[in-house]
Structure 1
Amino acid sequence: MIHVKAPGKLYIAGEYAVTEPGYKSVLIAVDRFVTAAIEKADSVEGTGTIHSKTLHHEPVVFYRDEDEIIVSDTNSAKQLKYVITAINVFEQYALTHDIDLTHFHLTIDSNLDDANGHKYGLGSSAAVLVSVIKALNEFYEMHLSNLYIYKLAVIANMKLQSLSSCGDIAVSVYTGWLAYSTFDHEWVSQQIEDTSVDEVVMKNWPGLHIEPLQAPENMEVLIGWTGSPASSHHLVSEVKRLKSDPSFYSRFLEQSHACVEKLIHTFKTNNIQGVQQMIRQNREIIQSMDAEATVEIETAHLKTLCSIAEKYGGAAKTSGAGGGDCGITIIHNAIDKQAIYSEWRVNEVKPLEFNIYNGQ
């Protein structure tokens, strides 16, 4: 039995701008995971199973039709669309490398949500895609690089027509701290349409930047959850509407770009105070977006989270699309984080005592 895991993510800076090719963001992987276990099925049966423990009590049977994974139960197929699409994309790639496809039993589990099923906004869809690709990579002994695993997961994501920068996929693959800018989506979409999966993966993707970062010494990230889930798709779609004012939108992009480039530099120069300064500046840039949008990015709960953290010397902001979910705070680890946590709890912000996950 092969076991793999793919971590969840949180954005630290560069949200919204990261939806445009070439504009960088900074993310972290956290130690909450989607896990995948895979083993070979009895070849006589001609079927395999997919078992998502969060969706079904029992495994769902699949078979192949012209090298496509088919789940005959249409309701289950819809629920498992991320898993099935990831398998099909990976196996299209494997076939071009003369890999003999076989049936298997694949089990997916997750602890990215809380015990009651409430979503923290940790990027569960991305982690599902990555865990499936990683499991198949080991199962078929393909020995793919992180970049190829990322690209295969992205291709699956794009086939599902997801409006995503795919930063969550990148950090789920690479883990730790990551500087990331997305690729030219129109170009990659056209490549997917015109060429094979193998050819798309081999090409350089315009705009794509993936750079692992080393955090300054003694720096810590605190995460607070507001208890209300955000709709990233709705929020990003609304902000995209602001493109109709080119002067505002281009100014926002340039401000975000300059801020995140300086943030990355503070990482490379081991400068916690510089990191905090850029986090505060990025919050102001996001707030300028908030003022123009018809949706609330920094909610009252997130404002409270930030105010409490700032009172104790932390630098705080929303994480990701905002509108709920999580906020983050950068502190020097000499600061009493329990004081922040205690006041957060009083104000109905739940501390998520996650660690940054560095590993494969």
Structure 2
Amino acid sequence: MLATAQAPGKLFLIGEYSITFPFQSAVAFAVDKYVTVTAESNDMQVVDITSDQLGNLKIPFEQIQKPLTIDNWQLVKRTMAVLYQYHFKNLSVYQGLKLNITSDLTFQGKKLGLGSSAAVVVAIIKAFNQVFNLKLSKQEQFKLGALVMLTLPQFSKGSMADVAVATYGNVLSYHKFDDFFVNQLLANGMDYATIMQRDWPGLAIKILPWPTDWQIAIGWTKTPADTQEILNHIIPSEKIAAAKEKLALTTKPLINKFILGLKNSNFEMVSQSILLNATDITNYTNEVGINYLTASLTDALNIATDLHIPAKISGAGGGDNVIAITTRNENKEKLQKAWQRSGIIPLPLHIATLGE
């Protein structure tokens, strides 16, 4: 059986940084740029993978569960290891698989900061689900993707919100699970299927409405940022713990206000929530020593402010994107033209519903 699956990129609307803590919330949305995976089972004793970004890789069955080496393929290899262990369990019943992976989450050869790693993982999971008729629910697909990320050191500190958006699409309210609990199950040697059947404390994913007359504008600074590298360079200390706790406390009511504003199409409520959260994140990153605001990001934000359009950095900062919301298309066009004059590239992105 030949299967084709897509997973979208994502952008945050509100709640970055605090969402890396268990039991915290954020709102993010799927964008209409995708990682696409075609997959087909066969009788070969190998997983044969072709990527438009990385080239070709063949993994013999006996190599699938071997310890990973650090290379550009480790995310794909870890995904295959988790899926084969979850579904087949024993090497003796493995089935061959041919995968083709393509991505349009780049521009001029650079990542756009749209959560491409999670999109790769989830697109592979979706294709694998189709090929072997696993009939996985959306939540099961999400949990498999999160297990892949949790078992890779460079991704384990992330929020997994990008995995949720890549799985569900749309505009999402995402409440992070207790990753300490899940990591303990992994450390105790519990198999993936059993871990997925357990309730993950705190996990909640809900699709939110988006007012039809609201416009989203995204400006790309042309400077890629590495969220995982930023998170991994935060060295724990009492000062940082206090800053995290403060951010978590101030963010929670703003998330609730933002969601209420969305549900009631209250633009003023949503705008206030975004701008207050942006201030809190700037204060937090200053306290913990993160290079959050670059010159290009500051320029993009100032341009939006001058046009009386609420805007914020989407993601970890240090590069990537600014996002703005307006109720009038002509205001969006004015903003995009002003960004272009300052070297900020407007990205023609829209909310992706996946149509599933």
Pairwise CA RMSD of aligned residues?
Answer: 2.3
Given the superposition, is the C-alpha separation of residues 2 and 324 from structure 1 closer, same or farther in structure 2, using an over 3 Å criterion?
Answer: same
Q: Which residue of 2 aligns with 1:7?
A: 8
Contact 1:238-1:294 at 8 Å conserved across structures: no
1:223 aligned to 211, 218, 222, which one?
Answer: 218
Distance 1:166 1:323 in 2: 20
Matched, 1:316 2:315: no
1:249 is displaced (CA, Å) by: 3.1
Distance 1:104 1:126 in 2: 21
Distance 1:107 1:323 in 2: 32
Contact 1:37-1:106 at 8 Å conserved across structures: yes
- TM-score using structure 1 length: 0.91
Contact 1:48-1:103 at 8 Å conserved across structures: yes
Distance 2:242 2:128 in 1: 46
Distance 1:48 1:289 in 2: 44
Contact 1:238-1:293 at 8 Å conserved across structures: no
1:348 is displaced (CA, Å) by: 1.2
1:278 aligned to 268, 273, 282, which one?
Answer: 273
1:232 is displaced (CA, Å) by: 1.4
1:40 is displaced (CA, Å) by: 2.3
Q: Which residue of 2 aligns with 1:120?
A: 112
1:14 is displaced (CA, Å) by: 0.4
Distance 2:211 2:175 in 1: 21
Q: Which residue of 1 aligns with 2:208?
A: 213
Distance 1:179 1:335 in 2: 28
1:242 is displaced (CA, Å) by: 6.5
Contact 1:50-1:106 at 8 Å conserved across structures: yes
The secondary structure found in structure 1 opposite 2:82 is helix
1:4 is displaced (CA, Å) by: 0.6
Cα shift readout 1:118-149 (whole Å, capped 9, x = no counterpart): 11111111011101111100000011101000
Q: Any unmatched runs of 5+ in structure 2?
A: none
Matched, 1:62 2:63: no
1:287 is displaced (CA, Å) by: 2.0
Once structures 1 and 2 are overlaid, which stretch shifts more, 156-165 or 288-297? 288-297
- TM-score using structure 2 length: 0.92
Given the superposition, is the C-alpha separation of residues 240 and 326 from structure 1 closer, same or farther in structure 2, using an over 3 Å criterion?
Answer: farther
Calculate percent identity across the aligned residue pairs.
Answer: 30
Matched, 1:150 2:145: no
Distance 2:193 2:71 in 1: 26
Q: Which residue of 1 aligns with 2:177?
A: 183
Distance 1:95 1:40 in 2: 13
Structure 2 counterpart of 1:35, which letter?
T
Given the superposition, is the C-alpha separation of residues 328 and 153 from structure 1 closer, same or farther in structure 2, using an over 3 Å criterion?
Answer: same
Distance 1:306 1:159 in 2: 36
Q: Any unmatched runs of 5+ in structure 1?
A: none
Mapping 1:37-48, distance limit 5 Å: 37-41=38-42, 43=43, 45-48=44-47
Cα shift readout 1:219-241 (whole Å, capped 9, x = no counterpart): 12110011111121233245564
Structure 1 counterpart of 2:52, which letter?
K
Given the superposition, is the C-alpha separation of residues 216 and 272 from structure 1 closer, same or farther in structure 2, using an over 3 Å criterion?
Answer: farther
Once structures 1 and 2 are overlaid, which stretch shifts more, 189-198 or 13-22? 189-198
Q: Which residue of 1 aligns with 2:51?
A: 52
Distance 2:47 2:21 in 1: 40
1:294 aligned to 277, 289, 297, which one?
Answer: 289
Q: Which runs of 4+ in 1 moved over 6 A?
A: none
Distance 2:317 2:18 in 1: 14
Given the superposition, is the C-alpha separation of residues 233 and 53 from structure 1 closer, same or farther in structure 2, using an over 3 Å criterion?
Answer: same
Distance 1:219 1:353 in 2: 15
Given the superposition, is the C-alpha separation of residues 133 and 301 from structure 1 closer, same or farther in structure 2, using an over 3 Å criterion?
Answer: same
Q: Which residue of 2 aligns with 1:132?
A: 124
Given the superposition, is the C-alpha separation of residues 300 and 48 from structure 1 closer, same or farther in structure 2, using an over 3 Å criterion?
Answer: closer
1:213 is displaced (CA, Å) by: 0.7
Matched, 1:164 2:161: no
1:46 is displaced (CA, Å) by: 2.7
Matched, 1:35 2:30: no
Q: Which residue of 2 aligns with 1:101?
A: 94
Contact 1:243-1:249 at 8 Å conserved across structures: no
Matched, 1:262 2:254: no
Contact 1:19-1:182 at 8 Å conserved across structures: yes
Structure 1 counterpart of 2:118, which letter?
A
Cα shift readout 1:184-230 (whole Å, capped 9, x = no counterpart): 12211111222110111011111222111111231121100111111
The secondary structure found in structure 2 opposite 1:109 is strand
Distance 1:69 1:245 in 2: 39
Matched, 1:92 2:66: no
The secondary structure found in structure 2 opposite 1:79 is coil
Structure 2 counterpart of 1:107, which letter?
N
2:299 aligned to 300, 304, 316, which one?
Answer: 304
Cα shift readout 1:236-274 (whole Å, capped 9, x = no counterpart): 245564653554432221111111111111112221221
1:349 is displaced (CA, Å) by: 0.7
